[in-house]
Amino acid sequence: MAAPKYGLNPHLAKACPEPPVPLAKAWAASYPGSSSPFASSSSSSSASPPSQPLLNLAQGVPGHAPHASLIERMSQEAKRAPMETHGYGHVFGDASLRQALSHDLSTVYGAEVSVDKVACTAGCNMAAAVVFHALAQPGEAIVLPTPWYFNHQMTLASLAVEAVPLPTQSPAFLPSAQAFEDLVRRHNYGPASSSLPRIKAVVLVTPNNPTGSIYPHQLLDDFYAICAREGVALIVDET
């Protein structure tokens, strides 16, 4: 097949990890392997079910269909107001949903979050893309604690925004606020800052994907204080 005569986005050619969802599906399809202690003890058929079923703990990609009551309710809502469910809605999301989210956020966090500060997106990947677009331009940087959520890095790469790693250590995988502050000062103010991309934001994912680590309140407070002091945006993903 001949190569196209038009150019493609060179930033998408950067090395990206293989998406984990199809990898996980392949693992599930191969369960149980011949050496697994849960392989069927029956020798009559290689297709015999395992002695223990696969326990799927996937967060966003469940291994089972939605409950019948949920499917029925969705059907009822679609029929109730067809133009509302099948036409274009408000650019920032359904008004009643935004109102409910505003109330929920204000209650949980103990601070007023007005409706005009709430926007709904088609999933958190879309929310991240919108925020990255709004905060950083090509040649700038956003800090991601490692190991990072693969879609965040790939989105930044597509925008020509550098993902600056903030290493964490097992078993807790908690990012260091001091190490983050050192990164910001080195990139934004240090002697080598002219050759380094300016850091515009840091992304904290808690509960973390992929480690599962939950960041303590004090750690979030420490990052907030640094971001407020250094003029860097704090992006918190709690999905």
pLDDT in tens, 126-172: 999 999 999 999 999 999 999 999 899 999 999 999 999 999 999 99
What whole-number distance in Å separates Cα of residue 96 and Cα of residue 71?
A: 21
DSSP conformation class of 171 = T
Q: Shortest CA distance to 142 belongs to which of 187, 109, 89, 90?
A: 187
Please tell me the pTM assigned to this model: 0.81
Cα(7)–Cα(30) distance, rounded to whole angstroms? 39
In 3D space, the residue among 231, 237, 210 whose CA is nearest the CA of residue 57 turns out to be: 210
pLDDT digits 0-9 by tens, 67-101: 999 999 988 988 887 777 777 888 999 999 999 99
Nearest to 62 by CA among 93, 25, 90, 99: 25
Of the chain, the end-to-end C-alpha distance in Å amounts to 41
Domains and CATH numbers, the chain: 65-120 (no CATH), 122-237 (3.40.640.10)
